[in-house]
Chains A and B, each alone.
Chain A
Amino acid sequence: MKSVIEILREIRPEFDFTTSDDFIADGMLDSFDVVTLVATMDKSFNISISGTEIVPENFKNLAAINELLLKSGARL
């Protein structure tokens, strides 16, 4: 199973996701990156993140993404 940080690095290898608290505001993830991230996490964690949860605040930083994964039933 890939970790979130590995998935993020695959999507945007040019950024260091450990140094930002707001991936969206810092321009590290755009809306299409978020879609790619959701699809990859769905597959990797064998879940289906609800479409209503696909809002910027849930993808702000690693803590928010981890919280979303837990809420969506992922085993971390």
Chain B
Amino acid sequence: MKFIHHRKRISGILAVVPARELSFVEDMKNFNFPEVRSLKLKEVMGYDKHRVVEPGVCVSDLAVFALNHLFERKLLLPDEIDALILVTQSPDYFMPPTSNVIQGRLKLKKQMFCMDINQGCAGFVIGLMQAFLLLEQESIRKVILINADVLSRKTSPRDRNSFPLVGDAASITIVERDSDDSVIHTMLMMDGTRSDALMIPAGGFRLPSSPETAILEDVGDNNLRAKDHLCMDGSGVFNFVQMEIPSLVGDLLKYGGATIDELDYFFFHQPNRFMLQKLADKIGVPHAKMPSNVVERFGNSSGVTIPITITSNLADRLVHEQFKVCLAGYGVGLTWSAMLMNLGKVNFNSLIEYK
């Protein structure tokens, strides 16, 4: 599915990661798995450090911390915010929307549009698309896109499929109109027939959490998890990404009239280094143009990995320079999306720690 957006831009990105850092070497003690095999996995997948919240920390805590950081430094004024979009799979509550909770905790103005979007690894591109649509309204001049997840709280520490790679994080992306005649091309696909490839089976209305859903079960390969935990069909997701993303990116480049050589960076969602390098080889992108160094430093934080990749790899360069980039996110839903845009000359692009 094709989308085109005119005269929109990102004017600032702030990523926030918890100060608490876990290491794969320490995690290994929880796995019923020979150490030598775990160490091989570390080398291939790039598992090393990952950031997770302390018990009890919620998405709104990370978001409020990050927005206050911007307010205190006058990088954003509270009254400038006309819309607040939160993309998360780990809301503070079923109801009310966590975006409203954030608005309330910060005492933001009432003339504001708040919305939660339940999306994961494709959530940065989807959130940007929603921000662009809102900016078509005259009354909306500045949209705050928040991507945030604390999925470590829903991941079994005994599940080698998920725990070593999971990371918690949030990002604030400021989206506004562009005075230049910029054009942004996007491709988006969804396939609900494979919605069970990534899911938390229990805790919703279909299967409410109970003492039974909290019982750790042996799910094969020496992994233990409960129905209350994040469940990922790792092989299925890997094959989905390798099959679908190269053609999606190819179609996007054709749609946007761009070539791989013309692009400076491919900022893709960061599941693990192996998957990204295989994607880069398949698409024909030099590894240097597609950073794959986020999961080893921060973990996979779903929709926040693209902003973290941008902030941690470009930092202040993005304030002074402009780049032509391709963004791509893929995961829960299943959902896959890619966006072609100019990115740069922003007011800020940094990564901070939540303490």
Max count, chain B CB within 10 A of own CB: residue among A11, A38, A54, A55? A54
> What residues of A have a CB within 8 angstroms of the CB of B243 in the complex?
52
- For chain B, residues 131 to 172, give those with C-beta under 8 angstroms from any C-beta of chain A: 160
- For chain A, residues 24 to 76, give those with C-beta under 8 angstroms from any C-beta of chain B: 30-33, 35-36, 38-39, 48, 50-52, 54-56
- For chain B, residues 238 to 292, give those with C-beta under 8 angstroms from any C-beta of chain A: 238-239, 241-243, 274-275, 278-279, 281-282
User: Is B343 among interface residues, defined by CB-CB distance under 8 A?
Assistant: no
Beyond A36-B44, A39-B44, A39-B274, whether A51 also contacts B221 by CB under 8 A is no
A34 to chain B, nearest CB (A): 8
Q: Is the CB of A36 within 8 A of B242?
A: no
Would you list the 5 A-B pairs with minimal beta carbon distance, nearest first? A51-B242, A51-B278, A48-B281, A39-B44, A31-B235
Q: Is the CB of A35 within 8 A of B45?
A: yes
Beyond A36-B41, A51-B241, A54-B239, whether A31 also contacts B278 by CB under 8 A is no
Q: Is the CB of A32 within 8 A of B41?
A: yes
A55 to chain B, nearest CB (A): 7
A11 to B40, CA, bound (A): 8
Partner pick for B221 among A11, A31, A38, A48, CB 8 A cutoff: A31
Q: Mark B38-63, 1 if CB is under 8 A from A, else 0.
A: 00110111000000000000000000
Q: Is the CB of A51 within 8 A of B40?
A: no
User: Which residue of the partner chain A has the closest CB to B278?
Assistant: A51
> What residues of A have a CB within 8 angstroms of the CB of B282 in the complex?
50-52
A48 to B277, CA, bound (A): 9
Beyond A39-B274, A48-B281, whether A32 also contacts B221 by CB under 8 A is yes
> What residues of A have a CB within 8 angstroms of the CB of B208 in the complex?
none
Partner pick for B37 among A32, A39, A48, A52, CB 8 A cutoff: A32
User: Is B234 among interface residues, defined by CB-CB distance under 8 A?
Assistant: yes
A63 to chain B, nearest CB (A): 22
Q: Is the CB of A48 within 8 A of B239?
A: no
User: Which residue of the partner chain B has the closest CB to A10?
Assistant: B40
Beyond A11-B40, A50-B282, A51-B282, whether A35 also contacts B242 by CB under 8 A is no
5 A-B residue pairs with Cβ-Cβ distance under 8 Å, sorted by A, are A32-B160, A33-B37, A35-B45, A36-B44, A39-B44
Partner pick for B278 among A30, A32, A36, A50, CB 8 A cutoff: A50
